[in-house]
Amino acid sequence: MEEFDRLVGIFEKLRAPGGCPWDAEQDHKSISRCAVEEAYELAEAIDDGDVGHLREELGDLLLQVVFHSVIAKDLNEFTIRDVINDLADKLIYRHPHVFGSENVSDSKEVIRNWDRLKKKEEGKTGRKSILDGIPEALPGLLYARKMQSSASRVGFDWKDPEGVLDKVREEANELREAIQKRDEKEIENEIGDLLFSIVNLARYTGVDPEAALRKTNRKFRKRFSKIEDEAKKRGVQLEDMTLEEMDSIWDSAKEEIPE
Q: With a cut of 70, say whether residue 124 has pLDDT above it.
A: no
Q: What is the pLDDT of residues 6-44, one digit of tens each?
A: 999 999 999 999 999 999 999 999 999 899 889 989 988
Whether the per-residue pLDDT at 123 is higher than 70: the answer is no
Give 133 or 228, the one with higher predicted confidence. 228
DSSP state of 212: H
The 8-class DSSP code of residue 238 comes to G
Q: Is the pLDDT of residue 148 over 90?
A: yes
pLDDT in tens, 172-193: 999 999 999 999 999 999 999 9
Q: What integer pLDDT is reported at residue 125 of this predicted model?
A: 59
Task: Tell the CATH topology of 127-207.
Answer: Helix Hairpins (1.10.287)
- Region 234-250 average pLDDT: 92
* Contact (CB, 8 A) for 109 and 115: no
pLDDT over 70 at 234, yes or no: yes
What percent of the chain clears pLDDT 90, i.e. is strictly above it?
67
pLDDT at 110: 83
Look at residues 156, 159, 106, 102 and name the one whose alpha carbon lies nearest to residue 130. 156
Q: Who wins on pLDDT, 125 or 119? A: 119
- Angle at the Cα of 131 (from 185 to 134), degrees rounded to 5? 85
Please write the tens of the pLDDT for every residue from 208-233: 898 899 889 989 999 999 999 999 99
Q: Which fold has domain 2-93?
A: Helix Hairpins (1.10.287)
For 158: left if phi > 0, alpha if psi spans -120 to 50, otherwise beta; the answer is beta
- CA angle, 23 as apex, 22 and 24 as ends, to 5°? 90
pLDDT at 158: 92
Q: Distance between CA 194 and CA 24 in Å, rounded?
A: 46
Query: Per-residue pLDDT tens for 67-114?
Result: 999 999 999 999 999 999 999 999 999 999 899 888 888 887 888 887
pLDDT tens-digit series, residues 43-55: 889 988 899 999 9
pTM of the model as a whole? 0.66
Is the pLDDT confidence value at 203 over 90?
Answer: yes
Mean pLDDT of 123-142: 79
- The whole-chain average pLDDT of the chain stands at 91
